[in-house]
Amino acid sequence: MTALPKLKDNKRAAFDAFSLKRRRLVDKAARIVITLGGISIILSILAILVFITLEVYPLWEAAKAELAGRFELNKPLGISSPLANLASVPDFPILGVGVDEYRQIGFVITKDGLVDFISLKDGNTLKQVPLKKIEGKKITSSLGSLDNQKYTLGTDDGYILPVEINFKVSFNDNEEKVIEPELVEGEPIKVDALTLTHVAYKALDDDTKGIAAVTSDGRLVFLLEQTTRPLVEGEKKEVSKYDLTPELKGSIVTAIALDQFLDNLYVGTKRGELHHWDIRDKANPKLVEVIDATENPETAITALGFIIGDRSLIVGDETGNVSTWFQVEDKTSPIGRRLKKAHVLSSHNGLVTAVASSPRDRGLISADSKGGIILNYSTSERKLLELQGEGYPIKALAFAPKADGAVAVDERGTFYDWRIENPHPEINLKALFGKVWYEGYSKPEYVWQSTGGTDDFEPKFSLTPLAYGTFKGTFYALLFAIPLAILGAICVSQFMHPSLKNIIKPVIEIMAALPTVVLGFLAGLWMAPLIEKMVPAVFMMPLVLTIMTLVAVFLWRFLPKSVRGRFKDGTELLLLIPVFILGIQICLWLNQPVESLLLGGDFKAWLFDKLGLQYDQRNALIVGFAMGFAVIPIIFTISDDALSNVPKHLISGSLALGATRWQTAIKVVLPTASAGIFSAIMIGFGRVVGETMIVLMATGNTPIMDWSIFNGFRALSANIAVEIPEAPHGGTLYRVLFLAALLLFLVTFLVNTGAEIVRMRLRKKYAQL
């Protein structure tokens, strides 16, 4: 009989041992799964961070250049002595240089009217084409275009010849690329009887052409050729010629530039003066200003040119300084605008001999008398590259059509071909976070405008207004959410009856499940138009509701105990619901009378006239309500849990010592739960900073810097959502958007790290209570 209990005890012991072993295995497996899950999350975050960093890193890579070819132009090229001996030739024969878009064929234009096409593989001359329409004439001046295609040549007998150099691309039977150069000559135009030392030519269309030229006797002339085609008569040409020399007042012209719109003529002089003529009225060219561009009468302007778009003027001088100028609004000017020096670029060690601008962006290259070439980016004033020849003055200079190279010829006839890798010239810290003076703006500003409607658009990549908008939206959202969420949590956890708490808390938590796209849709299309009609009522509601709540609480104390006793402790708060409804209705009733009596009958007009603020329908007020609504459940839930987990003995001790429930909640419970509440606020902050859809749909997405609650803004997250679908992969905009994402990541990480440090200190401070 004694063996049976022992057997049962042995089975029970074996079963307990098996259960313990199984429990240990389950615990170990759970520990491994949880550990692996945590590690995988950390690795995933690190992988995301690494990926974003790798996408951003190329923005900071320096431009690179490689000398792809160096050739001695040692063939006659239409002159008596070979170019190998050009150092001894006083009249340098080469006036222009260029290259095709594939950088396989270069060309030079000589004074004897020849265009030589040169293979950039070996330096051999592929083709020599004479300019037949000025055969027998000597070319004395030239001016090239941005794309290396159109050139204007001035002759020794006062003519100008427009020339276009094209490259036809085809493929042979072996699918090899074949590039065939082609020279197209325009019609010569008679400008003067004397030699033209400087020329500038622009054609608005086939019917309107403008020419500015300097003659060998120092005269400055402007010629306008207009063609009309009446229905009855044949084609008719009208030529108007203006002598602008008297307005130079004896200054010797050293450089001229004529914009593509035939609106402005700029002339640089030996005394460092920059003369600006307004030629929009073609019948009356008007000198509008003379500027001391070099700030030294002994320093001559030696080179003029335009940045792509012909609105920013490049000025190079005798001391090696290079700057860009453009017109800004000025009411004191007779034309309403004045030329201002906007950007000072890296200077040379010698006289600036030539400038050329990029046909793709706001970059430019400038050369000097010591063989140096500098690549700058105008907008950011960033020095990208410095190239060096062999110490001889650079006489001709050109950018490759794709801005991936440059060609130059020095005084000794050495032809240089550089390959340039410069994918992100627009970016530096100043362009991203500093004030930049953009073309056409009256002063340096923070601007985000990534795209435009024309090829000569100046990208504006300042992240400052986007960061500003992010914190503006965060501020107004938390201003609305924090008081409601924390006070609501105090009310629910400390004063409300458990039966009501068990209903209200889940309802508020369910609010967090609402898709933000729905909230943004409702805010942008329903709330914004609604609030626009009742702004005075909205601003009256906090005051009116507070007063009515205090009055209701005051009256509640005077009710008979028999009436108050019918309500369970903590359920009387439901009586505030009709008070709130009545208060809101009162504010709506008062909206129109207040607007009529105090605000002149139109709130928006009053706001603009009295305070200078403009009311946008989708503004920070709407975003504050919508994002606040989205973040309230998070802050409320975490705060309520923190408040509810305060040890009961602290609350009981406080009440036993005679403190009221309100005093206990504020002076005992709230400080003890402060670590959890602070964590709730920081989590809410992170939620708001990263919010995308509400900000995208409920604001005007205007990247402005204004703290007005009545204006819209654009946040970093919304900007990424708006811009990334249109951003070319690997382009500057694409990488700048990843930089914005990296900034959001870092801000959230730093704030959460700081919040955790503060939370731990608060927890340690109140842990021993």
With 0-12 CB in 10 A as exposed, 13-18 as middle and 19+ as buried, what is 18? exposed
Angle among Cα 368, 69, 732 to the nearest 5 degrees reads 75
Mean pLDDT (whole number) for 566-590: 85
3-state secondary structure of 588: helix
**H or E, element range at 395:** strand 394-399
Determine the Cα–Cα distance for residues 481 and 475; give it in Å rounded to an integer.
10
Stretch among 21-30, 85-94, 335-344, 436-445 having the lowest mean pLDDT:
85-94
Q: Is there a contact between 724 and 738 (Cβ–Cβ < 8 Å)?
A: no
Report in angstroms the alpha-carbon separations of 704 from 566, 627, 693, 723: 56, 20, 19, 17
3-state secondary structure of 323: strand
Stretch among 144-158, 182-196, 581-595 having the lowest mean pLDDT:
144-158
Q: Is there a contact between 225 and 238 (Cβ–Cβ < 8 Å)?
A: yes
Determine the Cα–Cα distance for residues 414 and 392; give it in Å rounded to an integer.
9
Greatest alpha-carbon span in the chain: 141
Mean pLDDT (whole number) for 355-367: 92
User: Which phi and psi (to 5°) does residue 629 adopt?
Assistant: -60, -35
Tokens 């609604």, residue? Answer: 530
Sequence-distant (≥ 6) Cβ neighbours of residue 753 within 8 angstroms: none
Confidence of residue 497 (pLDDT cuts 50, 70, 90): confident
pLDDT at 232 (0 to 100): 64
User: Shortest CA distance to 295 belongs to which of 266, 267, 274?
Assistant: 274
Sequence-distant (≥ 6) Cβ neighbours of residue 274 within 8 angstroms: 266, 267, 268, 290, 291, 292, 293, 301, 315, 325, 339
Is the pLDDT at 591 greater than 80? The verdict is yes
How is residue 612 written in tokens? 């200078």
Q: Provide the CATH number for the domain formed by 464-768 in this structure.
A: 1.10.3720.10
pLDDT at 91 (0 to 100): 58
Is the pLDDT at 137 greater than 90? The verdict is no
Digit-coded pLDDT (tens) for 660-691 = 888 898 888 888 888 889 889 988 998 899 88
Is the pLDDT at 17 greater than 80? The verdict is no
How is residue 78 written in tokens? 């239409």
Determine the Cα–Cα distance for residues 240 and 198; give it in Å rounded to an integer.
19
Determine the Cα–Cα distance for residues 177 and 169; give it in Å rounded to an integer.
7
Confidence of residue 94 (pLDDT cuts 50, 70, 90): confident
Digit-coded pLDDT (tens) for 245-273 = 999 998 999 999 999 999 999 999 999 99
User: Shortest CA distance to 701 belongs to which of 716, 686, 691?
Assistant: 716
How is residue 292 written in tokens? 């001391």
HSE (side-chain half, CA atoms, 13 Å) at 662: 1
* Mean pLDDT, the chain, whole residue set: 87
Sequence-distant (≥ 6) Cβ neighbours of residue 700 within 8 angstroms: 616, 617, 618, 619, 712
How is residue 17 written in tokens? 């041992």
Digit-coded pLDDT (tens) for 48-66 = 999 999 999 999 998 999 9
How is residue 205 written in tokens? 């269309």
pLDDT at 176 (0 to 100): 83
Strand stretches in 29-130, DSSP E: 64-72, 94-99, 105-110, 114-119, 125-130
User: Shortest CA distance to 213 belongs to which of 140, 292, 150?
Assistant: 140
Determine the Cα–Cα distance for residues 595 and 252; give it in Å rounded to an integer.
67
Report in angstroms the alpha-carbon separations of 497 from 235, 379, 401, 484, 570: 96, 65, 77, 19, 4
How is residue 32 written in tokens? 């491994």
pLDDT at 634 (0 to 100): 92
Mean pLDDT (whole number) for 383-407: 92
User: Shortest CA distance to 241 belongs to which of 198, 208, 187, 283?
Assistant: 283
Q: Is the dihedral of CA 693, 699, 702, 707 positive or negative?
A: negative
Confidence of residue 760 (pLDDT cuts 50, 70, 90): confident
Confidence of residue 278 (pLDDT cuts 50, 70, 90): very high
Digit-coded pLDDT (tens) for 449-477 = 988 777 788 999 999 999 999 999 999 99
Confidence of residue 76 (pLDDT cuts 50, 70, 90): very low
User: Shortest CA distance to 616 belongs to which of 678, 495, 679, 706?
Assistant: 706
Beta bridge partners of 290: 275
Confidence of residue 83 (pLDDT cuts 50, 70, 90): very low
Tokens 């006797």, residue? Answer: 217
Confidence of residue 297 (pLDDT cuts 50, 70, 90): confident
Q: Is there a contact between 637 and 487 (Cβ–Cβ < 8 Å)?
A: no
